[in-house]
Structure 1
Amino acid sequence: MVQGLLHSAGEPFSMSNAVFAIIRGHRRALDVTSVVQGKTRFFSVMMLTWGLVADIDIESEKFRWMGSARIDFYSLLRAVNLRRYNGRILFVPAPGYEGFGDPVEQTISCKSNGATNAAEGDIPDVCNNETCTYSGPSTDDADLEWRSLKGPFVNVWISNIAFASEGVMIAPQAQFADGYLDAAIIKDCPWSVALGLLLRMKDGSYIESPYVEYFKVKALRIEPGLRVGSSTIGGIIDSDGEVLARGDRSQTKEEPEHLMAYGPPIQLMVDQGLATIFSPR
């Protein structure tokens, strides 16, 4: 988040610049994403990941003794032993991005503030007698045209900010308060291509690859499936660095339950400019 704010103002990343930004007191609006599964809902301001990046982020914790090198080491390990995940992504494209994915037939209307139509064969878990528990931005059902992408996927990255860290630009076109999420989907590809894409994330040029679908959405729904080649093991879904759902059934009785379950659809919608943050200018 800090890197993105400083970069947007043309200032280099440093602790002192971040502190001065707070002291100056300039503010800017920030979109907030509601992440909903059934009756469970929470809010995100940065990103949601499923697949390669989530695996690297969470599973590399065992190598924390290596310091920041753990990310580079585990990125190489995961790229060479690449995993692919089945599933489907449904989304309402932002204006200008209607050509991405395949059209989906809407069969059921779920109308309320920020509610969305259901895709064919699906009844949104957030609906109850045509009333949604989600209380986000008001949207006219008639304006929502869902589209879809089918897996297998290597990585699904849904971001509200341009940078995941100081040296990783995940969404070059992301804006803090444009009312949209940036989706960067890495499709099935050879491990060597995946490794190259990880290396190109430094400047965001990885989105130019034919193996990457990059577009903006107003609403998005993830239907996560199992890992390719496995009948029992899924993947990790995390948001803002915290695990939402884990499909590997590795959770022990001593571990706290994850906020959401792996398998049922997870829906994301945007509240434009709901939050306020300090900014360099």
Structure 2
Amino acid sequence: MVPAGSGNGMIKSLLEPVGLPCSATSATISIIRGRTRSLDVATISQGTTKFFSVLMLAWGLVADIDIESEKFRWMGSARFDIYGLQRIICLRQYHGRILFVPAPGFESYGQRASCSIDKEPSGSDKTLVYQGPDSKLENLDWREMKGPFVSVWLHNVPWGAENTLAAPDAKFSDGFLDLIVMKDCPKLALLSLMTKLSDGTHVQSPYASYLKVKAFVLEPGARIDEPDKEGIIDSDGEVLARGRKSYKCDQKALMSYDKLQISVDQGLATLFSPE
């Protein structure tokens, strides 16, 4: 993997622990050496539609910044900072609900809840392609948080971009996703929190909940200030779903702006790694 995008979170997560710069040269040398490591893969499902994610999923503030700032792509990674400031000044909050299966040690987050898991209808082509982990999700201990939300952010690796240590405790193949949730947060506190993304201390804010989850369900809703408008669901820098009157809502997306569920397959993928 060679850094060639605006964020380069995956390659940053690989190179940073060994003190190598996030550059094409460092990445190429790592590939030549041939060392590998395992990586968890998240399966995002909605009915029969699936998307396999290795980096992140976002809804709310982070997704809005990531996708809507594309109009400033010519700025490079600075587009995230410039548009992020604009989005904080004109802050949006969203109705919705999230459900999750917490990792051991994180059972105190949220409230106990029952979760109805969508089961994919059987089909003759089911065995032809990978379908995601064979987990009995309905039998797990689910918990929930209800909105309004400022941001919901799931991460598979520590870095979301070269200057964004989104999930400082994330591991490549621990079988869990790191969940960062922001709900009620004053704008000045949010601005301060966002400036701490570079060193990961934003997760220590009293306005952020940071935990690990084994499975996750997102039920996105409309904006608080303008109920006729909805948001964007973003995974690995690509739009999964566009709600009503959201940015470029006329463009077709892979999924609808509705309930989706996520499960994790531990160590499914393999990456070239410097160590």
TM-score, normalisation: structure 1 = 0.87
Partner of 2:160 in structure 1? 164
Partner of 1:229 in structure 2? 225
1:232 offset after TM fit, Å? 1.3
Distance (whole Å) between structure 2 residues aligned to residue 8 and residue 146 of structure 1:
33
Which residues in structure 2 correspond to 1:257-276 (within 5 Å)? 257-262=252-257, 264-276=258-270
Conserved in 2, the CA contact under 8 Å of 1:37 and 1:126?
A: no
2:35 to 22, 26, 31: 26
Conserved in 2, the CA contact under 8 Å of 1:36 and 1:126?
A: no
1:142 offset after TM fit, Å? 8.0
With over 3 angstroms needed to count, the CA separation of the structure-2 counterparts of 1:210 and 1:252, relative to structure 1, is closer
Conserved in 1, the CA contact under 8 Å of 2:59 and 2:232?
A: yes
Partner of 2:102 in structure 1? 93
Partner of 1:110 in structure 2? none
1:13 offset after TM fit, Å? 2.6
Aligned partner letter, 1:21 = S
TM-score, normalisation: structure 2 = 0.89
Matched, 1:155 2:148: no
Alignment: residue pair count: 259
Q: Point out 4+ residue stretches in structure 1 off by more than 6 angstroms.
A: none
Which residues in structure 2 correspond to 1:128-139 (within 5 Å)? 128=121, 135-139=131-135
Corresponding residue SS for 1:213: strand
1:125 to 118, 136, 151: 118
Structure 1 unmatched ranges of 5 or more: 106-118
Q: Quick one: percent identity of the two aligned structures?
A: 53
Corresponding residue SS for 1:43: strand
With over 3 angstroms needed to count, the CA separation of the structure-2 counterparts of 1:83 and 1:14, relative to structure 1, is same
Matched, 1:202 2:195: no
Structure 2 unmatched ranges of 5 or more: 1-9
Distance (whole Å) between structure 1 residues aligned to residue 158 and residue 105 of structure 2:
19
Distance (whole Å) between structure 2 residues aligned to residue 198 and residue 143 of structure 1:
37
Partner of 1:44 in structure 2? 53
Alpha-carbon RMSD: 1.9
Conserved in 1, the CA contact under 8 Å of 2:92 and 2:225?
A: no
Aligned partner letter, 1:260 = M
Distance (whole Å) between structure 2 residues aligned to residue 73 and residue 160 of structure 1:
25
